[in-house]
Chains A and B, each alone.
Chain A
Amino acid sequence: MKRKESTNISRGPRIPGVLPSSRFGEQVVSTGIPSLDSYIGGGIPIGSICLLKDTYPCRYGDLVLKCFLAEGAVYNHDLYVASDKVSPKIFGDELPALKKKAGGNSEEQNEGNVNLNDHSLKIAWRYGVANPTTPGVVKGQKEAKFEFKKKTTVSSLGNSNLKTSEVLERKDLMPVKSLELLKEIAQSVAPFDVSNSSSSGPKKPVANLIRIGISHCEEQTLNAQFMMGLRALVRRTNSCAVITVSNCSPVSKSQELQAEQFVDYIIRLEVILEDKRKSELGDVDGICDVVKIASANTIKPNELPRDLGFSFRNKRLTFQELHIPPEGENTTQRESSSRSVNISSGSSCGATIRGKSIDF
């Protein structure tokens, strides 16, 4: 069956590293973290903006961003990087390296980690996910593609198309305004224009895409004007953007909410500080809260993945479902017969539920 082409935007020939999503015929690019991709429909759709909200002072969001850029470098996508807190050149020079495969087996899942494949249910209350969202990718698949044990550069990954922001480096423009950053991004994405509405006549098909990574430029990015402009740019070009921001930005909450209206994906990374809590939830370093997933070309809302966590073990970043035990019960205790449920209230305010007395 011939696929219906859009009347306005044609994405052109097939580009390496671009995959079909399980949803609505979108084309997605991997974040570089297969376990995260499996929960968000296979990756970040082309033409969309993903906002990663980090917990200050942690920088897990930047780790995701580096994996996103490294994935693009592997497939020779063009890369644009802007960063306000560190030099954007660091992103090009300190990317994670490709994980070496053991025994040539690309499907390995045993590296001392729990196998969360839905065919092996090891914990009584965990129910494996029946329907993987992406062909070939099982939800909870923990195989990491990149690792941070060794750092690599964009050129080492075979890519020579990295552009770093210059406006943020220029002292005479301080403070850098949103419009300056937006115009710089516009110049970078202009060669990837796929919209047909320009009057300049038929265009050459675009054979590549550009990944935009913006790290902690809260003052420039967390406002509606910037996000509207960026949305207009990515919607009409072969591009997608990942923006990391901190939860301690100087921007007001209302301004942040206004900016979020124009973003397609919002993922919050909340770090867990207590070791006990970390182990209770399944040895995770934090909770991943997918707040928003929007799809182009449809009005059907997407089901948001729930109860996700992330961990940084062996210098690899992976995402997994949290182990949340039923409330109020020891995990090894058998549930007593339901007929024994009785609630009694005597002179004290005590009550008994399932043979346990609970005093208020």
Chain B
Amino acid sequence: MAQGFLSSLDLKGSVFGPEDLLVTYQNGNVDGSFVLHYLVGDFVKTFGNQSRILLVLSSETVNHWNSVGSKLGWNFGAQQAKGHLKVIDLGEELFQTLTNSESPGDDAIDLEKLYTNSRNEIESMCGKPNDDGGKNDTVKVLIVVEDLTSLLFHKASGSGRTEVSPERQVLIFLKKLLKLNDVVAGRSAEVTVATLVNSCGTYFASTIGKVLAAVAFEVSPLQTGYSELFSGYLVVKQRPASCDKEIWVKSYQYKLDDRQIKLSPLTKLNF
């Protein structure tokens, strides 16, 4: 049986820690969304019935996630049927807004509303707070914001104050999502957030990856543009628990197939 994606990386400790942010950083013209798909697949396989997933989609469709999920060995439909997976499809909302001739047609994303919807979905998946103080198995919640930079580009709004920049608004939204961990702590649940950012011309993407992420996955294209053996480069950086320790960094060449990924560690060449 093929090794899991995360287990192939030899990361220290669990990646899905409470209030942890996992960032996939797309460097250049390369599709790094496979990291998110593999993270979700590993999350479902690791935590089984204790897993809860909230997908905030802005780039791809539910159909795409369903199709890729089945190739990676987890059942999207079954998770949805059990109530363990919820979807907020921003693309679908945008579609409805644009095609509805009666709507004013403002295509901005309301981040306050998005946060409220996300919170409601998480609370419904985690169930009622523990009244009797009895121990329940910890429910692990993974919030996947498919493309954080699309929130940035889409005239992110919702703070009510027009002088707040879109970058700041998105950062506030991200921090509030992470703080949902405190909201659901009383229900024996822990929240991890995974997201993807694009490099394309903004410092925002690299800042998120370098400053806020507990684990950052940096995906880059091949220098030569094409190889039969490899699809690109993957650099994984894990922030240590304490500041006095060094950041764990490891580089890989990856070969991506329809159903599996092969990782080859890059060794440093000393001249």
Contact = CB atoms under 8 A, between A and B. Distances in A.
A229 B107 CA distance: 8
B62 A7 contact: yes
B262 interface: no
Nearest to B66: A7
Nearest to A4: B70
A292 B26 CA distance: 15
B150 to A, nearest CB: 6
A292 B29 contact: yes
B77 A300 contact: no
A300 B257 contact: yes
Nearest to A226: B107
B92 interface: yes
B85 interface: no
A24 B153 CA distance: 30
Contacts of B258: 24, 298-300
A186 B231 contact: no
A22 interface: no
Contact of B105 (A179, A257, A262, A298): A179
Interface string A195-214: 10110000000000000000
Contacts of A228: 58-59, 91, 94, 150, 153-154
Contacts of A183: 98, 105
A313 interface: no
Nearest to A187: B101
B201 interface: yes
Contacts of B91: 228, 231-232, 235-236
B31 interface: yes
Given A8-B63, A233-B98, A301-B231, A254 B154 contact: no
Interface string B86-113: 0001011011101101000111000000
B159 interface: no
Interface in B109-129: none
B181 interface: no
A1 B77 CA distance: 21
A294 B32 CA distance: 12
B147 to A, nearest CB: 8
Nearest to B261: A299
B153 A298 contact: no
Interface string A293-325: 010111111011010000000000000000000
A224 B154 contact: yes
A6 interface: yes
Interface of B: 29-31, 33-34, 37, 58-64, 66-68, 71, 76-77, 89, 91-92, 94-96, 98-99, 101, 105-107, 149-150, 153-155, 198, 200-202, 225-226, 231-232, 256-258
20 contacts: A8-B63, A179-B106, A189-B99, A197-B62, A224-B153, A228-B59, A228-B153, A233-B99, A235-B60, A236-B95, A258-B198, A258-B202, A261-B198, A261-B200, A296-B63, A296-B64, A299-B258, A300-B257, A301-B256, A304-B225
